[in-house]
Amino acid sequence: MIGAEAIPGVPASKAAVAANAALDAQAFSGFHQRTARPLWAYLARVLGNAALADDLLQESFLRFLLTARWEEGEAACRSYLYRIATNLMRDHWRRPAVTSLEEVPEGDLPASNWQMDERIDSQGLLKPAFAQMRPRERQLLWLAYAEGATHAEIAQITGLGAMSIRLLLFRARHKLARLLRPTMVPEGGKR
C-alpha cells in the first residue's frame, strides 16, 4: 500500500521506509502513465468539458493514492481508479447549483447543453449524438466499447447491478446507433 505506516510495535528504519516510498512512487508513476490519458478521455467524453475533466482526473488520482492497494493488482487498481472518477462525476452532477442557470457555463451542464471543446473535438458524428445521451448512458457505452470493460467491471465501476448492465447497455447502444445512423432504425422498430 502506498505510504503504508510502519507496523505497530515493529521498528522500521527510516531507510527502509524511504526505500518503500520510492518503490511506491515508481510504481505509481508507471500506473499513472498507463491510465491517466484513457481516464481523461473517459471523463472528458462523459462530462463534455475538458477543463472539468482535468480537475476530476487530478482529484481521482489524489483519492486513489490515499486509499489504493497495490497488492490487489493493476486491473483492480484500474477499476478502482475508474470507480473514483465515476463517483466524482456523479457528485459533480448532484452538487446543487449556487448560481442561476444563466450563469452556469454550458460545459458544466450534464446532458441537454452538453458540449465539447476543441481538446475533445472528434469526428463530427459522435458529438451531437453523444450530447443527446444521458450521463449514465455515456458512461456505460464508453466503458463497454471504448475501454472494452466487461459487464462485471462496469458494474464494479458504476455501482450498478451486474444483471442490469446488459439491458441498460443494449438500450444505450440502440439509442446511440439510432442517433449515429438515423436511417438504420426501421419504422416502428422496437427499442
Partner 1 sequence: MKWHGCSRVGEVTTALREERGLEGCAPELQTHVAACPQCSELVLVARALRRAREEAIPRAQPAPPDLLWWRAQLRRRNALAERAARPIGLVEKLALGIMLLWIAAWAAAQREAIADALQWWARSPHYSLFRGNINWFTGDGPSWLPAGILAATLGLLAGLATYLGWRGAGTKRQQD
Please report whether residue 83 would count as binding partner 1 according to CB under 8 A.
Answer: no
Please report whether residue 38 would count as binding partner 1 according to CB under 8 A.
Answer: yes
Question: From CA 37, how far away is CA 40, in angstroms rounded?
Answer: 5
Within 140-179, which residues bind partner 1 (CB under 8 A)? 141-142, 145-148, 173-174, 176-177
Query: Which range touches partner 1 (CB under 8 A), out of 8-16, 39-47, 75-83, 96-104?
Result: 39-47
Total residues contacting partner 1 by CB under 8 A comes to 45
Distance of CA 98 to the CA centre of its chain: 25
Question: From CA 48, how far away is CA 27, in angstroms rounded?
Answer: 31
DSSP 98-165: SS-GGGS-GGGS-STT----GGG---TTHHHHHHTS-HHHHHHHIIIIIS---HHHHHHHH---HHHH
Q: Return the CA Rg of the chain.
A: 20
Min CB(13)–partner 1 separation in Å: 19
Residue number with CB closer to partner 1 (41 or 96): 41
The three cell numbers of residue 177 are 446507433
Q: 12 in helix, strand or coil?
A: coil
Min CB(48)–partner 1 separation in Å: 12
Query: Which range touches partner 1 (CB under 8 A), out of 61-69, 75-83, 101-109, 154-162?
Result: 61-69
The three cell numbers of residue 126 are 459522435
Please report whether residue 136 would count as binding partner 1 according to CB under 8 A.
Answer: no
Binding site for partner 1 (CB under 8 A): 2-3, 25, 28-29, 32-33, 36-38, 40-41, 44-45, 50, 54, 57-58, 61-62, 65-66, 119-120, 122-123, 125-126, 141-142, 145-148, 173-174, 176-177, 180-181, 184, 186, 189-191
